[in-house]
Amino acid sequence: MSISYADLGDEVIGREREVELLLAALEAGAHVVLEGPPGTGKTTLLRAVAARQHVPFIFVEGNAELTPGRLVGHFDPAQVLAQGYTPEIFVDGPLLEAMRSGGLLYIEELNRVPEETLNVLLTSMSEGEVHVPRLGSVRAADGFSFVAAMNPYDSVGTARISGAIYDRTCRIAMGYQSPEAENQIGVLRAPEVPDDWRAKVIELVRSTRDHSDVRVGSSVRGVIDLVKVASALAQARGIPVTDWHLGLDAATVALSGRVRLHESSSRTPEEVVRELYEAVFGREPKDEDDDSGEA
């Protein structure tokens, strides 16, 4: 079934090029690696594409605990004692589930997966089959695709992906969305707020990606959470969402955990968020000043 960007509706915003490239790669029978920072819509994109193509979507969280056995499957130990190693008691893991159903296997955080598990994937990608001890060979049904995502900026708990994986996959780089796309996402997925104030929130979030002390800035998720927290605070305090101090509190809550500083930085995330907040919303107003949040 052929689909296009327009078929995805409001689920995927500002990703026309990436959707086109992904659909072309999958149509060509290729396996794909989506590479980009967190919050850039990699999982959302894959879920939407799989749903529109009406193919099974099998999600796997990549981490050090993803052993070959967990990925491929296992014989039910209790049944083995009674029946022996028969195919009927084998419990498919996500890889075999995707292969048998011709589905889309999606592994998040590929560079956190142990090398021995990646070696199992290599066989399924290059040969279209996997050999399981005592079960035999399992061939992939038509339509089986493997798509992985990885964050190149996070080095903690990650490993370098081998050239063998890259040689068997197509790579699509996914950067941050445009300001216009992030505004549209904010309108759709966060409470209603004044347009000019939301525009400043987007400017603030985007500025976290360029600060000299910041290694990884906030994604558009920071916009959504900041607006949600500010709206809740406004209701609790009985003041406008544009209040300067309210906005700073919301920004600190929503962004200080998302910005990751360089190890050489002597500053705290809260200090960086306040600096950026003041650059966008102006310095802290004095008592006699208008506290509406206008710079």
In the chain, the domains with their CATH numbers are 5-173 (3.40.50.300), 179-281 (1.10.8.80)
Q: Which phi-psi region, left, alpha or beta, contains residue 157 (left: φ > 0; alpha: ψ -120 to 50)?
A: left
What tens digit of pLDDT does each residue of 67-105 get? 999 999 999 888 887 788 888 889 999 999 999 999 999
Per-residue model confidence (pLDDT) at position 54: 84
Per-residue model confidence (pLDDT) at position 288: 52
Per-residue model confidence (pLDDT) at position 295: 43
Which amino acid is present at 252?
A: T
- Nearest partner of 213 among 269, 258, 174, 160, judged by Cα: 269
Cα dihedral 33, 37, 43, 48, rounded to 10, equals -90
Residue 43 CB contacts under 8 Å (≥ 6 apart), including other chains:
59, 106, 108, 149
Stretches in the chain below the pLDDT threshold 70: 1-7, 9-10, 153-160, 287-295
Q: Three-class SS string for 164-185?
A: HHHHCEEEEECCCCCHHHHHHH
Element spanning 191, H or E: none
Place of tokens 């048998």: 100
Per the CB < 8 A criterion, the answer to whether 150 and 109 are in contact is yes
Per-residue model confidence (pLDDT) at position 21: 92
Per the CB < 8 A criterion, the answer to whether 256 and 270 are in contact is yes
Residue 100 CB contacts under 8 Å (≥ 6 apart), including other chains:
92, 138, 140, 141
What tens digit of pLDDT does each residue of 127-153 get? 899 999 999 999 999 989 999 998 876
220-253 per-residue burial string, b: 16 or more CB within 10 A, e: under 16: bbbbbbbbbbbbebbeeeeebbbbbebbbebbbe
Whether the model pTM is above 0.85:
no
In the chain, % of residues over pLDDT 70: 91
Angstrom distances, CA of residue 245 to CA of 13, 129, 284: 31, 59, 8
Which amino acid is present at 105?
A: L
Q: How far apart are CA 232 and CA 235, in angstroms?
A: 5
